Amino acid sequence: MDYLVIAYNLALLSYSLGVLLLASPIPSKSVKSWGSKLISDSLMTAILISSITLIQGIGAYILKVLNVSWEEFFTWLYVRTLTLVSFYTVLTQVASYLKHVELSFLTSPIGYVVSLISLSFTSLRTIYVLSNVIYAFKDKLAVLGVLLYSLPFRVGKGVGSFFIAASIVMFVGFPLMPHFIQSFEASYPSKTLLESKTITVNVVDVNGRGLPYPIVKFYLVRELNNPIGVVLGDVEGKLIIGDGLDVLPKENFTLQVQIEYLGMSFTPVPDYITSEFEINTLSIPQLLMLPGLALLRNGDVEFVDVLYDYGSADITVKAFTNSKVTLVKYLKTNVTYVEVNGRETSCIWSDETWYGISISTCSIELNGSDSYTSLKLIYTPSQPSAPNVGEVRLIYKESIIDDLTNLINVAVTYIYTYIFLPGVYVVILTSMTHALSKVLGGSRLRLM
């Protein structure tokens, strides 16, 4: 209120100066008109000083009538900042993921979006600073405006009236910004870009035991010529697709699979994976896994029962005359004894190489005269080793185009809602403030 006393006295001073100019014996039109200008300004200042409580209170009154508050505005601003921060974090993560997948061409649009987001941060920070200044110094701004307004000879009339107008217009305008922007916002950026699907695939044998290091080839349905992905499983037959390593289709999809294992190619049951399930189990009914070796049956043989003790396996199969099983082992696995229906059988091993792994195979005649045949193996198992195969991760081209489109959409949306709309709003507020300041300072009383 101290400033108001100064302003009141300044108004009296400019009034007396005005009268002095008016009374002066200088026969000049401009001197006389300055006199009347000074008088009218001082009267206007007196009005403003007297109605300072009105100026300070009118903003709060309008806000109450419109039922908006500064708290809501600050909450809105905070939520927006959080959204932006989380999107920024996710994008940075996506960019770092993409480096693994050799999709460096996607990192450049992402970098563009990231730069736009930092631009949006700047715009948000400007709004923060402006709104905080208005909120904290609204009353002081009005008083300062009146003081500047009261300076004689119109020294601070324009600035002063702008300050007074800003203390009203900005104080009402900023809490209305969420409503303005929400009415123009078409949609929030789609989150599909950020979701990465993960599918776990388990490759198992007839008994549900995991195949160590299977090679799984993925094909688009009905295009069984060239695989779109080749992925190696782990020691328990498990592999994970998606999870940032692969670019998978956005919507539900089905991919056909083929499995290669120890030099053989299988069509598993089921012969596809689907994104409807998070875990897809592919079983190979032709194959029976034992530690360090595998048994492959022919079409008419059926595995009935397996008893395994370390280095010794008793297998019961259902077989017919001339039925065969093929024994496949790692070279280091040493089979010492093979017995069919209680009789020792010789096994002729032939060596092969499969993706850098040495394996041996041998065919065993079952001579199944009766339906159940027992097969006994005694051997020294060895640790399985991984084939030296070049993995081809799944990259779904349509998905990449979708991602690019999404990125562009997101970029445009962010430019629009975080930079363009608030900028337009602040410009509108400024022009309204200017208009009100013209009303306060532009009109003058005609005294002569």
Contacting residues toward another protein, per CB under 8 A: 2-3, 5-6, 9-13, 15-20, 22-25, 27, 32, 35, 39, 43, 46-47, 49-54, 57, 61, 64-65, 447-448
If the CB atoms of residues 40 and 437 are measured against another protein, the closer one turns out to be 40
- The least distance separating another protein from the CB of residue 15, rounded to whole angstroms, comes to 6
C-beta of residue 40 within 8 angstroms of C-beta of residue 447: yes
Backbone torsion region of residue 354, taken as left when φ is above 0, otherwise alpha when ψ lies between -120 and 50, otherwise beta: beta
Residue 34 CB, nearest approach to another protein (Å): 13
Our CB check for another protein shows the closer of 61 and 277 to be 61
β-bridge pairing 279-283 and 198-204: parallel
CB of 18 to another protein, least distance (A): 8
DSSP one-letter string for 216-233 = EEEEETT--SS-SEEEE-
CA atoms within 13 A on the CB side of 118: 6
Distance between CA 241 and CA 396 in Å, rounded?
12
Which amino acid is it at 95?
A
313: three-class secondary structure by DSSP: strand
Minimum Å gap between C-beta 71 and another protein is 17
**In this complex, which beta carbon is closest to another protein, that of residue 20 or of residue 136?**
20
CA 422 – CA 428 distance, rounded (Å) = 10
CB 62, min distance to another protein, A: 9
- C-beta of 22: minimal distance to another protein in Å? 4
Amino acid found at 70:
W
**Cross-sheet strand order for the sheet of 312-318:** 302-309, 312-318, 372-380, 334-340, 343-344
- 131 within 8 A of 77, measured Cβ to Cβ: yes
Residues 79, 287: Cα–Cα separation, whole Å: 57
CB 145 within 8 A of CB 163: yes
Choose between 5 and 79: whose C-beta lies nearer to another protein: 5
Closest distance of CB 193 from another protein, Å: 42
Q: Give residue for tokens 């010789």.
A: 346
For residue 241, the minimal CB distance to another protein (Å) is 56
DSSP-derived 3-state class of residue 146: helix
Please choose, from the candidates 421, 406, 410, 399, the residue with its C-alpha nearest in 3D space to the C-alpha of residue 115: 410
